[in-house]
Amino acid sequence: MPAAPRAGVTLADVAAAAQVSTATVSRVLSGNYPVAARTRARVTQAVADLGYVMNVNARALARSRTSTIGIVVQDVAEPFFGHIARGVERRAAELGLACLIMASRGSKERELELVDLLRSYRAGGVILVGGATDDRGYRTKLAHRARALADEGGILVLCGRPPLGDGAPTRSVGYDNEGGAFAVTSHLLAQGHRRIAYVGGPPRLSTHTHRLAGYRRALEQHGVAWDDDLVHVGRFDAAFGRATVAGLLRHGLAATAVFAANDEVAVGVYEAAEEAGVAIPGDLSVVGYDDVPVATHLRPRLTTVSVPLEELGRRAAELCVADGADAVDAVVGTRLVVRDSVAAPRAATEPGALSSAES
């Protein structure tokens, strides 16, 4: 058992105890450097005896680079972000990196502040997680910081959002929002649905706009006309899903299916349907996006698009340390997962089948 550690044990203390210079201690601690076996042993012993742990801040200062990365999410407790954060944390730990985590609460101003804060911590990589708002001024400001970060030896990593453009020095790992939305909408279309409501948001958030684009493309490909009244843009949460569908139901639902642009929204859709006595999928088919655990908690189980969130996070962590060569922007695949929340629309099924099912 190591001795009870003393206050503020430093490298110099260890050097004194081992009767060597601080340089030698530094070398054995850093590994990769020729040190005589006996000297090394003495040093190792002294470290153990004194309960010494290195001061990483001092090391960071001396080396002028840290082994810390930063990760900015909207909300730590949100499953979407939590799963990505898990991937980042795990891969970072494997790579010997520590993670500073911060929450923007969806404010782009705060996000900007946070990357500056992370910059002050000299984080080697700063990972921005989740969709970004499409805003010219904001993009410019972010590009500035990306450049500053790069100048300081760090790198800005975009995780699940589009690149900044303008040759801003960033790396990115994304997934195909448009493609997943296209797939899941096509699935609905294939079942015979023609009036499919879209519920998502916020307005200019990339995740939402790209998913909406996939929805649109699927409609077009099936020759279904676009209907503004079916598209509801608000937020990415259950309350919005619920309020929207409750409203729809109140005014006589025109849709036979709803594409909840993420699983949280789908939770709200289920609630509204339940309250109104509308059966899923009998009266209304529902699909989601993300495939977070709640998708399998819902009854009927939710058909949705699976995004490998943890993998996304792992890739992002890797991009923080990759050297130029293998720092290729990555894209991970999404996958439609069919469960029990979709059925053919009532109108498409012969009347007899409906009534017999209800008898």
Give the binding site for DNA (CB under 7 A).
Answer: 8, 10-12, 19-24, 26-27, 29-30, 33-36, 38-40, 54-55, 58-59, 61-64
6 binds a copy of itself (CB under 8 A): yes
For residue 169, whether the previous peptide bond is cis, meaning omega lies within 30 degrees of 0, is no
Give the span between the Cα atoms of 294 and 266, in whole angstroms. 10
HEC string of 266-331 equals HHHHHHHHHHHCCCCCCCCEEECCECCCHHHHCCCCCEEEECCHHHHHHHHHHHHHCCHHHCCCEE
Count residues near a copy of itself (CB under 8 A): 54
Using CB distances below 5 to 8 A depending on partner kind, what does residue 24 bind out of a copy of itself, DNA, none? DNA
Name the residue nearer to DNA (CB basis): 20 or 158.
20
Please give the structure tokens belonging to residue 24. Answer: 């030698």
One symbol per residue from 11 to 50: x for binding a copy of itself (CB under 8 A), - otherwise; what is it?
----------------------------------------
336 in contact with a copy of itself (CB under 8 A): no
The dihedral formed by the CA atoms of 183, 188, 193 and 194, expressed in degrees to the nearest 10: -20
Q: Which is nearer to DNA, 64 or 359 (CB)?
A: 64
Query: Which of 35, 44, 79, 162 touches a copy of itself (CB under 8 A)?
Result: 79
Burial (CB count within 10 angstroms: exposed 0-12, middle 13-18, buried 19+), residue 145: buried
Q: What are phi and psi of 240, to 5 degrees?
A: -70, -40
Amino acid at 178: E
Minimum Å gap between C-beta 145 and DNA is: 17
> What minimum distance in Å lies between the beta carbon of 144 and a copy of itself?
6
348 φ, ψ (degrees, to nearest 5): -85, -10
Select from 47, 1, 5, 8 the least CA-distant residue to 24. Answer: 47
Name the token pair of 78. Answer: 């949100």
Phi, psi of 172 (to 5 degrees): -150, 155
One residue of 16, 54, 332, 337 binding a copy of itself per CB under 8 A: 54
H-run or E-run covering 174? strand 170-175
Say if residues 298 and 155 touch (Cβ distance below 8 Å): no
Asked if 347 interacts with a copy of itself (CB under 8 A), we say no
Q: For residues 275 and 293, what is the distance between their CA atoms, to the nearest angstrom?
A: 23
Of 41, 76, 190, 348, the one binding a copy of itself (CB under 8 A) is 76
Q: Which is nearer to DNA, 22 or 296 (CB)?
A: 22
CB-nearer residue toward a copy of itself: 301 or 346: 301
CB nearer to a copy of itself: give 30 or 55: 55
293 touching a copy of itself, by CB under 8 A: yes
Distance of closest approach, residue 292 Cβ to a copy of itself, in angstroms: 9
Select from a copy of itself, DNA, none the partner in contact with residue 287, using the beta carbon and a kind-dependent cut-off of 5 to 8 Å: none
CA 222 to chain centre: 31
| Residues contributing to the site for a copy of itself (CB under 8 A) | 2, 4-8, 51, 53-58, 60-61, 64, 66, 68, 75-79, 82-83, 85-86, 89-90, 93, 98-103, 116-117, 119-122, 144, 147-148, 151-152, 267, 293-294, 297-299, 310
